[in-house]
């Protein structure tokens, strides 16, 4: 039943700006006209809604809920006209602060691993945007410290095992994969000064954070080696030279240096392509990096010890000094080799292999 026949109001052709269309309703409803906003996208109240309002007008006296409904419609209409927003749009839900933070983080996602693709991404830029001093500096440095502590402990302990080179390689590779996956969302899971250097040249971390990371890694290295010393008897510890890196019996210094450069370059290019570069990074980065460590150790352990990591070499050398000072012979190899390999890998990445936004050539 209708009190009044429905009469459709023709709309003027849209000029791209909001218009106001007045639809007359019975005077006994509230004695006024309702302004309806329309633009080139839609009209707020269609003819079916007009019919609904006319049905409501059959009440002899205005009902409170009817007046409230019409008031809300009028207010929404006026809001649409002021904002030039299509009135058919649904109001956007109010977002919780954490949701806004997540959106902000995604907009400022740095190169080295975003939270959620397997770890191994530096989040220093994101922390600068969203966190305080603890999130920006303390937490990631603690992550690097604890990560390297555990890595050096497991690595040196594996030398005392009966698995030989294969067992050592698997222990190092699996441990680095676990730590990268676990700490990737905390610090980026560098766990290696050479990795931090490569990521610095690739543009994934700032110089100040890089220095703080390396200091944390070196302290963690000494702590991890100290844990090994406390775990093993003196005889067992001395027998494995504290797990320190050393040249092969038949290898020269030049051969050892070249091995460290090439093997480290393999590791760093794996890191950059699977965890750093936006165009090639993958959630399988921890696995790929772990396999790179395994392969490198299997290939170069008999030549240079396949350290690939100055932090892995420093801690055991420090703790072994009391028993054998010769452990420092050729120790520089395990700084120069990984450092040169990291820089070369980063240059190849930036010049040739990086995605369009970071590639320098071509």
In this structure, of 26-30, 122-126, 178-182, the range with the lowest mean pLDDT score is 26-30
Note whether residue 88 is domain-resident: no
In the structure, what pLDDT confidence band is assigned to residue 55 with cuts at 50, 70 and 90?
A: low
* Domains held by the chain: number: 2
How far, in Å, CA of 140 to CA of 233, rounded?
33
Q: Is the pLDDT of residue 73 over 70?
A: no
pTM above 0.75, yes or no: no
In the structure, what pLDDT confidence band is assigned to residue 265 with cuts at 50, 70 and 90?
A: very high
In this structure, of 109-118, 147-156, 189-198, 249-258, the range with the lowest mean pLDDT score is 109-118
Domain that holds residue 325: 99-353
Q: Is the pLDDT of residue 25 over 80?
A: no
Question: Which percentage of the chain shows pLDDT scores above 90?
Answer: 53
CATH number of domain containing 224: 1.20.1080.10
Q: 28 and 159 share a domain?
A: no
Whole-number pLDDT of residue 158: 95
Whole-number pLDDT of residue 252: 95
Note whether residue 51 is domain-resident: yes
Q: 50 and 135 share a domain?
A: no
Tokens of 187: 């610090």
pLDDT digits (tens, 9 = 90+) for 129-148: 556 888 888 999 999 999 99
Tokens of 283: 């959630």
Q: Is the pLDDT of residue 213 over 70?
A: yes
Note whether residue 132 is domain-resident: yes
In this structure, of 20-29, 212-221, 298-307, the range with the lowest mean pLDDT score is 20-29
């Amino acid at each position: 039943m209708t009190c009044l026949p429905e009469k459709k109001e023709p709309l003027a052709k849209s000029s791209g700006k909001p218009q106001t269309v007045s639809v007359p309703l019975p005077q006994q409803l509230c004695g006024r006209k309702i302004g309806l906003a329309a633009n080139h996208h839609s009209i707020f109240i269609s003819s079916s809604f007009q019919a609904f309002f006319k049905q409501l007008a059959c009440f002899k006296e205005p009902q409170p809920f009817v007046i409230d409904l019409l008031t809300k419609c009028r207010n929404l209409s006026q809001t649409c006209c002021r904002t030039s927003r299509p009135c058919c749009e649904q109001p956007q839900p109010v977002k919780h602060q954490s949701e806004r933070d997540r959106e902000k983080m995604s907009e400022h996602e740095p190169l080295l691993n975003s939270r959620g693709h397997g770890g191994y991404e530096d989040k220093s830029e994101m922390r600068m945007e969203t966190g305080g001093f603890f999130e920006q500096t303390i937490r990631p440095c603690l992550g690097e410290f604890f990560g390297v502590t555990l890595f050096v402990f497991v690595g040196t302990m594996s030398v005392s095992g009966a698995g030989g080179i294969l067992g050592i390689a698997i222990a190092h590779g699996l441990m680095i994969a676990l730590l990268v996956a676990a700490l990737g969302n905390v610090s980026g899971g560098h766990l290696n000064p050479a990795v931090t250097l490569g990521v610095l040249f690739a543009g994934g971390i700032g110089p100040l954070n890089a220095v703080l990371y390396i200091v944390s890694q070196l302290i963690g290295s000494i702590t991890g080696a100290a844990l090994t010393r406390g775990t093993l008897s003196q005889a067992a510890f001395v027998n494995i030279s504290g797990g320190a890196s050393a040249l092969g019996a038949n290898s020269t210094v030049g051969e050892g240096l070249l091995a460290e450069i090439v093997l480290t370059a393999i590791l760093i290019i794996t890191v950059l392509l699977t965890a750093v570069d936006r165009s090639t990074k993958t959630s399988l980065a921890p696995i790929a990096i772990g396999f790179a460590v395994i392969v490198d150790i299997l290939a170069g352990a008999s030549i240079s010890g396949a350290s690939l990591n100055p932090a892995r070499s420093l801690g055991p050398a420090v703790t072994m000094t009391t028993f054998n000072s010769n452990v420092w012979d050729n120790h520089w190899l395990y700084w120069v080799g990984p450092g040169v390999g990291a820089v070369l890998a980063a240059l190849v990445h930036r010049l040739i292999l990086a995605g369009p936004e970071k590639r320098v050539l071509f």
